[in-house]
């Protein structure tokens, strides 16, 4: 089976960020299928285009057995709202060009993953031109999440995005959702045919974490960062509008009398502002760390005492699972979860951490102080999360289940 995947954020081989489809595509190729990806030219840690892409609009590369066409994304992407829009539409144009004129293998299906939902435009057109099924993966409810976080404001553009969303739900042969809440919203609010919907959540690559747990010395990084005697809380991920990392800064300010230190790893539109705010507050217990390749990020998680997943306080985020939560669980780290809704249900069912009221630094502070006084709970909940995730969220098992659905679609 030939699979054409359209995914703007498909990671580079040593890239930082969510690796769902990097891992799935690798598993699918090992199962004997061909995977071709239309991906964005991912920037470096400073938001600049990598040297190998300089003055180029489309570059073909192989990542293992996966064929990847890297397409231009405007470098203003992380600067502001207008830059984000330019980034989306530059990728749309060049991915459509690459798909139409450069890919030689005829796909058996087209799979695109949103956000951004605009990727559905080339995906839909390719499915019509190639006369193959369209698969729509919903990683986030878009445009709702963009509206709630203020990324999408123009009323005409909002109306257009909802129209596009409706068309894509109708024209897709299969719709994959990453959370049970997404499925409920699609059926009850958007009137999507339930028979089209499948549920394949995010998960963890235990192949990597199990090996590291047994062999990696967590004090290597602790010593390097002078955190031998610290209670380390790690955050891995975007520093954007939706993430609400200001609540971590406010919490750190309340914990200056303790040995707690926060490692914030990643990049995003709000990162420089957060760094400036931390400096103004004189916070010595916050460290900003540049993005790290996925395999290396697990070393930092293993070196921490706990992980934290946070988002701003709005109803849309009650429907999401946070990717980083699964990474923490796979590394036997309990989770400080400032996200309500189904993520809270997940953590409480697994007994793998604690819920914190979003954007409530005093509650955040109180829960952390509780863990400082209960070190045995840290170990117990870390193990609980690991066992729960291994049973229900093993990426290899999920990838094979996904593949079975795709094969049924084309037979």
pLDDT at 47: 62
Contact 319, 148 (CB under 8 A): no
User: Rounded to an integer, what distance in angstroms lies between the CA atom of residue 315 and that of residue 296?
Assistant: 33
Question: Mean per-residue pLDDT for 127-144?
Answer: 92
With a CB cutoff of 8 Å and minimum separation 6, the contacts of 211 are none
- In degrees, to the nearest 5, what angle opens at C-alpha 198 toward C-alphas 18 and 397? 55
pLDDT at 335: 98
User: Rounded to an integer, what distance in angstroms lies between the CA atom of residue 217 and that of residue 302?
Assistant: 9
Question: Mean per-residue pLDDT for 164-185?
Answer: 95
**Which of 370, 313, 387, 302 has its CA nearest to residue 336?**
370
- In degrees, to the nearest 5, what angle opens at C-alpha 383 toward C-alphas 378 and 384? 100
**Which of 112, 122, 148 has its CA nearest to residue 5?**
112
Average pLDDT, the chain: 91
With a CB cutoff of 8 Å and minimum separation 6, the contacts of 400 are 27, 31
**Which of 227, 211, 224 has its CA nearest to residue 331?**
211
Q: Is pLDDT of 373 > 90? A: yes
Q: Under DSSP, is residue 89 helix (H, G, I), strand (E, B) or coil? A: helix
Contact 141, 316 (CB under 8 A): yes
Strands of 202-352 (E only): list them. Answer: 231-236, 260-265, 286-289, 306-310, 335-338
Q: Under DSSP, is residue 110 helix (H, G, I), strand (E, B) or coil? A: strand
Order of strands across the sheet that contains 260-265: 286-289, 260-265, 231-236, 306-310, 335-338, 353-355
Maximum average pLDDT range among 9-23, 70-84, 105-119: 105-119
User: Rounded to an integer, what distance in angstroms lies between the CA atom of residue 25 and that of residue 174?
Assistant: 18
pLDDT at 275: 97
244's torsion region: left (phi>0), alpha (psi -120 to 50) or beta?
Answer: left
Query: 């969510």: which residue's tokens?
Result: 18
Q: Say which residue, 75 or 374, is predicted with more confidence.
A: 374
Strands of 64-216 (E only): list them. Answer: 66-71, 109-114, 134-138, 174-177, 197-199
262 phi, psi to nearest 5 deg: -105, 130
Contact 259, 230 (CB under 8 A): yes
Pairing of strands 66-71, 58-63: antiparallel
pLDDT band (50, 70, 90) for residue 45? low
Sign of CA dihedral 210, 214, 215, 220: positive
pLDDT band (50, 70, 90) for residue 4? very high
Burial string for 123-135 (b: 16+ CB within 10 Å, else e) reads bbebbeebebbbb
Q: Say which residue, 365 or 144, is predicted with more confidence.
A: 365
Could you tell me the end-to-end alpha-carbon distance of the chain, in angstroms, rounded to an integer? Answer: 10
Q: Is pLDDT of 383 > 90? A: yes
| Percent share of the chain, pLDDT over 90 | 71
Q: What is the pTM of this model?
A: 0.86
Secondary structure of 345-393 in the HEC alphabet?
HHHHHHCCEEECCCCCHHHHHHHHHHHHCCHHHHHHHHHHHHHHHHHHC
Q: What is the pLDDT of residues 139-168, one digit of tens each?
A: 988 888 777 767 777 788 889 989 999 999
How buried is 411 (Cβ within 10 angstroms: 0-12 exposed, 13-18 middle, 19+ buried)?
Answer: exposed
Domains of the chain: 2-203+394-410 (3.40.50.2000), 206-392 (3.40.50.2000)
Ordered DSSP codes for 91-103: HHHHHHHHHHHT-
pLDDT at 77: 62
pLDDT at 273: 95
Least confident of 55-64, 83-92, 211-220: 83-92
Q: Is pLDDT of 214 > 70? A: yes
264 phi, psi to nearest 5 deg: -105, 110
pLDDT at 338: 97
pLDDT at 55: 86
Q: What is the pLDDT of residues 283-319, one digit of tens each?
A: 999 999 998 887 789 999 999 999 999 999 988 899 9
Q: Say which residue, 176 or 204, is predicted with more confidence.
A: 176
Q: What is the pLDDT of residues 51-61, one digit of tens each?
A: 888 889 999 99
pLDDT at 76: 64
| 35 strand-pairing partners | 3
Greatest Cα-to-Cα distance within the chain, rounded to the nearest angstrom: 64
- In degrees, to the nearest 5, what angle opens at C-alpha 238 toward C-alphas 90 and 175? 65
pLDDT at 190: 93
């Amino acid at each position: 089976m030939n699979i054409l995947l359209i995914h703007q954020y498909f990671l580079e081989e040593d890239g930082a960020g969510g690796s769902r489809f990097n891992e799935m595509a690798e598993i699918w190729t090992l199962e004997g299928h061909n995977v071709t990806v239309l991906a964005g030219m991912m920037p470096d840690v400073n938001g600049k285009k990598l040297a190998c892409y300089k003055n180029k609009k489309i570059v073909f590369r192989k990542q293992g057995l996966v064929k990847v066409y890297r397409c231009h994304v405007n470098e203003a992407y992380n600067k502001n709202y207008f830059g984000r829009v330019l980034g989306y539409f530059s990728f749309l144009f060049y991915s459509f060009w690459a798909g139409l004129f450069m890919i030689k293998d005829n796909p058996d299906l087209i799979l695109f993953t949103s956000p951004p939902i605009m990727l559905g435009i080339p995906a839909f057109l390719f499915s019509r031109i190639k006369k193959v099924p369209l698969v729509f993966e919903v990683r986030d409810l878009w445009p709702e999440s963009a509206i709630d976080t203020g990324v999408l404001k123009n009323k005409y553009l909002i109306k257009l995005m909802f129209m596009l969303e409706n068309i894509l739900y109708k024209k897709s042969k299969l719709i994959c959702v990453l959370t049970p809440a997404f499925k409920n919203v699609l059926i009850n609010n958007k009137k999507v045919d339930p028979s089209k919907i499948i549920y394949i959540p995010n998960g963890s690559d235990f192949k990597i974490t199990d090996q590291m747990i047994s062999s990696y010395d967590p004090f290597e990084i602790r010593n390097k960062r002078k955190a031998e005697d610290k209670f380390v809380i790690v955050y891995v991920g975007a520093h954007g509008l939706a993430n609400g990392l200001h609540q971590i800064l406010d919490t750190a300010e309340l914990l200056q009398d303790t040995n707690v230190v926060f490692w914030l790893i990643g990049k995003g539109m709000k990162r420089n502002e957060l760094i400036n705010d931390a400096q103004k507050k004189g916070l010595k217990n916050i460290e900003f760390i540049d993005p790290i390749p996925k395999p290396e990020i697990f070393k930092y998680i293993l070196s921490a005492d706990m992980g934290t997943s946070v988002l701003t306080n709005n109803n849309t985020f009650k429907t999401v699972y946070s990717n980083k939560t699964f990474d923490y669980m796979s590394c036997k780290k309990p989770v400080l979860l400032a996200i309500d809704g189904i993520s809270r249900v997940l953590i409480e069912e697994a007994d793998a951490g604690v819920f914190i009221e979003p954007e409530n630094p005093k509650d955040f502070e109180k829960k952390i102080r509780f863990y400082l006084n209960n070190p045995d709970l840290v170990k117990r909940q870390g193990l609980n999360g690991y066992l729960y995730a291994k049973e229900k969220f093993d990426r290899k098992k999920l990838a094979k289940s996904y593949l079975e659905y795709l094969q049924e679609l084309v037979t």
